[in-house]
Amino acid sequence: MGRRGTAAWAWAFLLLLGCAGAVAAQESSIPVPPAAAAPREDGQWVMPAKNYASTRYSELDEIKTDNVKGLQVAFTFSMGVNRGQESAPIVVNNTMYVVAPYPNILYALDLTQPGAPLKWRYDPKPEAAALGVACCDWVNRGPTYSNGRIFYATLDGNVVAVDAETGAEAWKTKLGNVRDGETMTMAPLLAKGKVFVGNSGGEFGVRGWIQALDEKTGAVAWKAYNTGPDKDVLIGADFKPFYESDKGQDLGVKTWPADAWQQGGGTVWGWLSFDPDLNLLYHGTGNPGPWNSEQRPGDNKWTAGVFARNPETGQARWFYQFSPHDLFDWDGINENVLLDMKWRGQDRKVLVRPERNGFLYVLDRVSGEVLSAKPFHPLTATTGVDLKTGALIHNADKTPQMNRVVRDICPTAPGAKDWSPSAFSNKTGFLYMPHMNMCMDWENVSANYIAGTPYIGAELRMKAGPGGHRGAFTAWDIAGEKIAWQIKESFPVWSGALATAGDVVFYGTMEGWFKAVHARTGELLWRFKTDSGIIGQPTTYRGPDGHQYVAIIAGVGGWAGAVVAGDLDVRDGTAAKGFVNAVRDLKDVTTKGGTLYVFRLP
Amino acid sequence: MSRRILLLLLVPVLAACQREEREYRANPIASETRETVALTALSPGGNEPVVATSGKGRDYENNAYHLSQGKRLFQWFNCSGCHAPGGGGDIGPPLIDDKWIYGASIEQIVQTIREGRPNGMPSFRGRVPDDQIWQLAAYVRSMSGNVPSDAAPTRADHMHPGPSESRRPVSPPIAGGDVPPGGQAPQ
């Protein structure tokens, strides 16, 4: 008895020691965003991702875990369009700027006046024909600010610069051609005197590109395609990819059947990050076209991956392909969160990327080496990532085939996680990810390329994943390579996330709940029911009165909410490329909307 | 004698074949039928709008061959990509429901396909032979159960998201549909 007691004590002691060790190790290995890419808090929110490191973290801490339950509506504003509101309200010089879905009107709201009245509006008058070639609702993912101007892209393929004070148009440059199926939905990134923008249209067989425009004039500085010969992709002497599979000449031609790269997709409709120290711009590339993978044998470079480029010249430095020869519409356009951390005892500059294929990647952002790829979503289509070759390992049973329905593929076409950007907290070291929990049935059918019409070649229907819920909000412990906590949501979580120094994390649900949860535990601290489902990006700022505010635009839509925004018929499971099958009941819980909500403490 | 009987016997057999009349030679791509249609129920003077149709539409709607060709062409010309393979809608509005922005008659649907519509429906004039436009329009009518069920397609070649066109409940058309973006946008 006595001996056993001692042994138990010894075990307890060891355990304690172990725990203390683990805690210490964890504290020291909390990743931090590089200072040059995440400057000190100034109380503003000048770009959708908050900073070049894309952390969506604010050091404001007036709103805390113990007072957040008191949040109240400060003011609201109608966006005037009842379509999917994927945009981020940005705040500069006591003015808030919001962009509506098509027709993409930009509004400036004066935060110094009660009720934040309208200062001015700018109407870019985009072409209505663009509505026919916008794959996934009429969305816009946000404006951005630089040097006294607001920059954003319009659905019909224009980039505009607008005077932030007056709303006068400074310049407008047409980059996309709707007749070929090109649209623009992404939020530009401003750095080094340039506007970086890319096209949408991966479902229309467009050829994906990213361009840099002169911030002052709108003149094109460079353009890099993501398919085709090296000279078009801006691959030259500087290009040093980490993996063998990305080395060789003109892989953007050779990894495709003859000429298929011309309709090969690889668009740039998602998030860009920039590391000023390394002078590298990071951008993802979209899915290859058509979705029917049997029509494009080969790795289909440079689609479904991430490029590091020199922002001045556009020259590629490295590339990594998340989903070579993509089978399931797994665009590689998600956010690139730039962090510095100790990795296996070594200081590393990393790029963290929760990917559509279901893995959370930690890449060395200097070299493009994959340090870690851990699943965060139930998987049947893949089994892992080979860290030696960087290759995604597929489950052959789930490979799509012509005229045969392959069942229970997890994750789905929108992936484990789509564009909805996650947030990183400097305090917890966790990445807060809005994402899905879904599976699908998929059938390849023959795709015909007719310019300006869809180039897909697949029929699919999605459904809830294991557990029956369709979404989740997950805190991922980056250093520990595991889930810290997870909240199950009935619908896919299609909104962005916001992390704050008050240890409060915000996100929205498709039912219309705007939620505040505890950054360390996921405990629900406060929620507010908005007038429509939320798919927008929450932001926070310090108002002219010195107090902290939180902003979100409600209004359901996007691919996930097309069933409501587009009034689709729920009897057809293939509607909205199979998404309707999974979210038929969305019509029972929410209606169309478009309202900005701004909250503060009493 | 027996020859005459044989001939007599052939008459009903041949008559039965009448049901499926096919034009094997398609119209040249440039030729176009003229139908006078209106897009509204209103007309000054309190009357119905002036319309005049040739009746050609009925030949297409009642014909199983045309309907099944229309179903094939619906995928071939990528209508399925914008309206969903099952017609429940995607970029473009659903075609299996009862709401019609630009009219549910076959002549109006022919106009929709030929001329396109302002908020994203492409104009297929000159890209699709006129008789195929009629086949497509007839098939679109079948998607909401508005053709004779014995002529409508009975099976789908691909994923079966719902009952085949021949077993669809009839959805009597209602003019209206979605609010156009111009009506939603602030002026």
Q: Can you read off the two tokens belonging to residue A424? A: 């990183």
| Average pLDDT along chain B | 84
Q: Is A68 helix (H, G, I), strand (E, B) or coil?
A: helix
Q: Can you read off the two tokens belonging to residue A218? A: 């709108």
CB proximity A139 to B under 8 Å: no
pLDDT tens digits for A189-220?
999 999 999 999 999 999 999 999 999 999 99
Question: Model's pTM, two decimal places?
Answer: 0.93
What residues in B contact A570, CB-CB < 8 Å?
A: 88
Contact A577 B84 (CB under 8 A): yes
Q: What's the rounded Cα separation, in Å, for the pair A33 and A18?
A: 28
Residue A14's region, left for phi above 0, alpha for psi from -120 to 50, else beta, is: alpha
- Chain A residues 194-213 within an 8 A CB cutoff of chain B: 203
Confidence of residue B167 (pLDDT cuts 50, 70, 90): confident
Among candidates A245, A270, A426, which has minimal Cα distance to A335? A270
Q: What's the rounded Cα separation, in Å, for the pair A507 and A60?
A: 17
pLDDT tens digits for A376-420?
999 999 999 999 999 999 999 999 999 999 999 999 999 999 999
Q: What is the pLDDT of residue B18?
A: 46
Q: What is the pLDDT of residue A4?
A: 46
Which residues of chain B have a Cβ shorter than 8 Å from any chain A Cβ? 75-78, 80-82, 84-94, 96-97, 99, 118-122, 127, 157-159, 161-162, 178-179, 181, 184-186
Contact B181 A581 (CB under 8 A): no
Q: Can you read off the two tokens belonging to residue A195? A: 């506007």
Asked if A444 is an active-site residue, the reply is: no
CB contact at 8 A, A477 and A594: no
What is the dihedral angle through the alpha carbons of A382, A385, A388, A391, rounded to the nearest 10 degrees? 60
The residue ranges of DSSP E strands in A111-219, in sequence order, are: 118-122, 144-146, 149-153, 158-163, 169-174, 189-191, 194-198, 209-214
* Set A137, A156, A329, A503: catalytic member: A329
pLDDT above 50: residue B185: no
Q: Can you read off the two tokens belonging to residue A442? A: 């998929």
Structural domain count of chain A: 1
What residues in A contact B99, CB-CB < 8 Å?
A: 567
- Strands B99-100, B174-175: pairing kind: parallel
Contact B78 A450 (CB under 8 A): yes
CB contact at 8 A, A524 and A517: yes
Rounded to whole angstroms, the maximal C-alpha distance in chain B is 83
Average confidence (pLDDT) over A151-156: 98
CATH code for the domain in which residue A177 is found: 2.140.10.10
What residues in B contact A441, CB-CB < 8 Å?
A: 159
Confidence of residue B175 (pLDDT cuts 50, 70, 90): confident
Residue of B nearest to A133 (CA): B120
Contact B85 A574 (CB under 8 A): yes
- Strands A482-489, A118-122: pairing kind: unpaired
What residues in B contact A185, CB-CB < 8 Å?
A: none
Q: Does the residue A14 lie in any domain?
A: no
- Chain A residues 561-590 within an 8 A CB cutoff of chain B: 562, 566-577, 580-581
Q: What's the rounded Cα separation, in Å, for the pair A399 and A402?
A: 10
> DSSP states of A514-575 as a string?
EEEEETTT--EEEEEE-SS---S--EEEE-TTS-EEEEEEE---HHHHHHHHTT--TT-TTG
Q: What's the rounded Cα separation, in Å, for the pair A59 and A499?
A: 9
Residue positions counted in chain A? 602
CB proximity A103 to B under 8 Å: yes
**A202: closest CA of chain B, how far (Å):** 13
Asked if A329 is an active-site residue, the reply is: yes
CB contact at 8 A, A559 and A580: no
pLDDT above 90: residue A165: yes
pLDDT above 80: residue B27: no
For A223, the enclosing helix (H) or strand (E) is strand A220-225
CB contact at 8 A, B138 and B147: yes
Q: What is the pLDDT of residue B5?
A: 55
**B30: closest CA of chain A, how far (Å):** 20
Q: Does the residue A37 lie in any domain?
A: no
In the chain, the amino acid numbered A152 is Y
> DSSP states of A324-369 as a string?
TT-SS---B-S--EEEEEEETTEEEEEEEEE-TTSEEEEEETTT--
Task: Write down the H helix ranges in B18-63.
Answer: 56-61
For A17, the enclosing helix (H) or strand (E) is helix A2-28
**A154: closest CA of chain B, how far (Å):** 15
pLDDT above 60: residue B25: no
Q: Which one-letter DSSP state was computed for residue B127? A: T
Test mutation, B73, B91, B121, B136, chain A, max A CBs within 10 A: B91
CB proximity A460 to B under 8 Å: yes
Q: Does the residue A595 lie in any domain?
A: yes
The CA R_g of chain B, rounded to the nearest whole Å, is 19
ipTM reported for the complex, 2 dp: 0.93
CB proximity A454 to B under 8 Å: yes
Q: How far is CA A572 from the centre of its chain?
A: 28
Tabulate helix, strand, coil % of chain A (nearest 5).
15, 35, 50
CB contact at 8 A, A169 and A105: no
* φ, ψ (nearest 5 deg) of residue A316: -75, 140
pLDDT tens digits for B122-163?
999 999 999 999 999 999 999 999 999 999 998 877 886 678
Terminal-residue alpha carbon distance, chain A: 61
* Set A203, A299, A326, A335: catalytic member: A203
pLDDT tens digits for B37-47?
999 889 999 88
pLDDT above 90: residue B21: no
What domain range is A456 assigned to?
71-600
Q: How many beta carbons lie within 10 A of that of residue A152, not counting itself? A: 28
pLDDT above 80: residue A516: yes
Q: What is the CATH number of domain B58-158+172-181?
A: 1.10.760.10
Confidence of residue A26 (pLDDT cuts 50, 70, 90): very low
Domain boundaries, chain B: 58-158+172-181
B127, B161, B181: residue with CB nearest A103: B181
What residues in B contact A82, CB-CB < 8 Å?
A: 179, 184
